[in-house]
Structure 1
Amino acid sequence: MKINMPFSNDKYRYSSGYLLFFFAAWSLWWSFYAMWLKNKLGLSGAELGMLYSVNQFFSMLFMIGYGVLQDKLGTRKHLIWLIGIVITLSGPFLIYVYEPLLVSNFTLAMVLGAIFFGLGYLAGCGLVDSFVEKISRRFNFEFGTARFWGCLGYAAGAFVGGIFFSINPHINFWCVSLMGLLFLVINLFFNTDRTADEEAKETAVTPLTRQDFIAIFKDRQFWYFVAFVVGTWSFYNIYDQQMFPVFYAGLFEDPNMAPRVYGYLNSAQVFFEAIGMAFIPFLINRIGPKSALMLAGLIMTCRILGSAIFEDIYIISFIKMLHALEVPLFVIAVFKFSVANFDKRLSSTMYLIGFNIASSIGIIVLSLPIGRIFDHVGYHSTFFMMAGVVLVTILFGYFTLSKKRHEQIELTPVNAQQ
């Protein structure tokens, strides 16, 4: 199986740079966010759930705007500039604004943090992914081979982040700002303007209208897809982001060892995830996006159940590595499912609203009650419940999701419509 990474294509190189520095910045603080809040600042499970819920609520609002605007902008970079500025300001914000307010004024910190993180990361992640996906279709390279570099960036950030976090989390936050500056440099030199020939040919393409966007929400398949995302990806994200880091840290007798080991483990996991990003697109091309979504859901179920059954550090560490298979399968299958079943000009809207907002709604609705359930019954019972919900959702998706295959949608030429 040949993996095409077109290094001679400058559009591929710049797109990979976006993903490399964005995900490196995100992993430096997001990988340790729950540990920082609970172990360093002493927040409860319910408070943790509140923060995640409000973060996701605000990010959902930004995703709506990002999706519609980026589809209208095509491959123009206006919103990407905003993402770079937010990342660059992350260090001062986390150290001098967010952390003190979490201690002195939790409600204000919750709102300001939700706005900041929503703009730059929780909604920004989907924006950057969908922007690069548009670039990949326009300039003839597979999105997954560019996303590979994003995973490597996340792995590198998690690796050094675990070391820095055990010394002082503020080191992590300043490194985030450094990644933001590098992201802005990429954006400064990346030219995505259309040539005169492209402009002439694209004037013949019917522009997007409000009816094009509304048509998505009238499609029954869209709502089946949304329900599947909420029942799988939302539950899995609550498990993976809010619960697993603290659960894993609790397995260590020495609490100071936990962040360092978790950073190494997270780095290894994302490294294998990067390899998966390069290879899995070709697997999905063979089995189809629906089958890939089903398979990703089964891997989620196995990982959550494994955490419910076992407490051995080595077994749990191995279970963590399943994330490296599940993420590439799910993320790339979402793009291919969307392009196969809906208007490909609306890929940003589908990814940000149909996928990211749908999962955000699930997190908003479920984070606080799951946090309270955890406070009463502990990890294992909560994990069993979550795995059961994901399994039921997989059965729902099997009977409702479209089997249309992405092979019917070919990569567009350089001068084709977005």
Structure 2
Amino acid sequence: MQNSAEAPKKQESKHFWGFPFTHFTYFFMWQIIFGYLTLWMEQVGHMNGAEAGIVFSAMSGLSLLFQPVFGIWSDKLVFKKNLLFMISIAAMLIGPYFQWVFLPLMHINSLLVALITGVFLCFIFNGGVSVIEQYVQRASLANRFEYGHSRMGGSLAGMCASFLGGQLFIWQPNAIFWACSISATILTGLLLFSDKIDMDNAAAAGDTSNKLDMKQIGQIFKIKNFWYLSIFYIGASAIYDVFDQQFIIFFKTFFNTAAQGTQAYGRL
């Protein structure tokens, strides 16, 4: 017989579904950019391989600045969305930037536009990815859902973006960037109205707002395994990024036209 003094357990609200869609919208943009930007810069932006390489080199190099700064900033903000909104609003400008700013700048100085593009995209992607991932990971602890279930939204986004991006590129190359802007607008809406945190259980994510200091950061560099992991990432991640960026250029050489190669790449 149930003890009348015992109150029934309250069903915890997980506020789950907004987060896989957050992952989806962000990584949809990620796959569009890393899958088709090199092709766009070659065919539409009329950049040579060296100039295109500067864009991605700037993105990778600036990660050394953005990622540590964003990581510390995220730890200070915890569940506040200030930095997330900065990233999503910047992403909304991807379409206007490549439609109306990139090509005019190319007529002025190709090196300048490569550096500006690298900084712009690094802020959104190479730096921003850790902010998105960190926020959802904390939310999974507070809301009691499996982080991997939300992250699957990012994997589905990669599939959809590769297929849709190929169709959009053939139809109108600049459309891939406007697709990013639309996705970023949806992401901003999700952050505003959908991504809720169960603040009653926020302590489960840990309080990092006052725990990180420069002395603690300095201690990391004394850990031997940290350097092993860094060397691994420098090799594996760099090679993967180059493959991701250049594969479509190689792949389309097996077809009679670039359009055939792009369409097959999207389906692949």
TM bin (shorter chain): 0.7 to 0.9
Q: Secondary structure at the match of 2:211?
A: coil
Task: Tell me which residue corresponds to 2:57.
Answer: 53
Q: In structure 2, do the counterparts of structure 1 residues 109 and 215 end up closer, same or farther at CA, with 3 Å as the change threshold?
A: same
Structure 1 unmatched runs, 5+: 1-7, 266-418
TM (norm. structure 1) is 0.57
Aligned residues of 2:23 and 2:154 also touching (Cα < 8 A): yes
Aligned residues of 1:24 and 1:150 also touching (Cα < 8 A): yes
Q: In structure 2, do the counterparts of structure 1 residues 102 and 60 end up closer, same or farther at CA, with 3 Å as the change threshold?
A: farther
Q: Secondary structure at the match of 2:255?
A: coil
Amino acid at match of 1:15: F
Aligned counterpart in structure 2 of residue 36 of structure 1, from 24, 34, 40: 40
Aligned-partner Cα distance in 1 for 2:64–2:127:
7
Aligned counterpart in structure 1 of residue 170 of structure 2, from 166, 169, 177: 166
The CA deviation at 1:206 is: 7.4
Aligned residues of 2:29 and 2:161 also touching (Cα < 8 A): yes
Amino acid at match of 1:235: I
Q: Any residues of structure 2 matched to 1:53-202 within 5 Å, and which? A: 53-189=57-193, 190-192=195-197, 194-195=199-200
Q: Secondary structure at the match of 2:17?
A: helix
Aligned residues of 2:167 and 2:266 also touching (Cα < 8 A): yes
Aligned residues of 2:26 and 2:154 also touching (Cα < 8 A): yes
Amino acid at match of 1:192: I
Q: Secondary structure at the match of 2:130?
A: helix
Aligned residues of 1:59 and 1:114 also touching (Cα < 8 A): no
Q: In structure 2, do the counterparts of structure 1 residues 178 and 10 end up closer, same or farther at CA, with 3 Å as the change threshold?
A: farther
Aligned residues: 255
The CA deviation at 1:68 is: 0.9
Structure 2 unmatched runs, 5+: 1-11
Task: Tell me which residue corresponds to 2:5.
Answer: none
**For residues 67-94 of structure 1, what are the alpha-carbon distances to aligned partners after superposition, in whole Å with 9 as ceiling and x for unaligned?**
1111222232121111110111111011
TM (norm. structure 2) is 0.86
Aligned-partner Cα distance in 2 for 1:93–1:183:
18
Instruction: Decide which moves more: 8-17 or 153-162.
Output: 8-17
Amino acid at match of 1:194: M
Task: Tell me which residue corresponds to 1:231.
Answer: 235
Amino acid at match of 2:262: P
Aligned-partner Cα distance in 1 for 2:141–2:222:
26
Aligned-partner Cα distance in 1 for 2:137–2:41:
33
The CA deviation at 1:249 is: 1.0
Aligned residues of 1:59 and 1:117 also touching (Cα < 8 A): no
Higher RCO (Cα < 8 Å, 6 or more apart): 2
**For residues 342-365 of structure 1, what are the alpha-carbon distances to aligned partners after superposition, in whole Å with 9 as ceiling and x for unaligned?**
xxxxxxxxxxxxxxxxxxxxxxxx
**For residues 391-413 of structure 1, what are the alpha-carbon distances to aligned partners after superposition, in whole Å with 9 as ceiling and x for unaligned?**
xxxxxxxxxxxxxxxxxxxxxxx
The CA deviation at 1:122 is: 1.9
**For residues 324-374 of structure 1, what are the alpha-carbon distances to aligned partners after superposition, in whole Å with 9 as ceiling and x for unaligned?**
xxxxxxxxxxxxxxxxxxxxxxxxxxxxxxxxxxxxxxxxxxxxxxxxxxx
Q: Secondary structure at the match of 2:144?
A: coil
Aligned residues of 2:142 and 2:199 also touching (Cα < 8 A): no
**For residues 78-132 of structure 1, what are the alpha-carbon distances to aligned partners after superposition, in whole Å with 9 as ceiling and x for unaligned?**
2111111011111101111123323432122122212211111221122212221
Task: Tell me which residue corresponds to 2:247.
Answer: 244
| Percent identical | 26
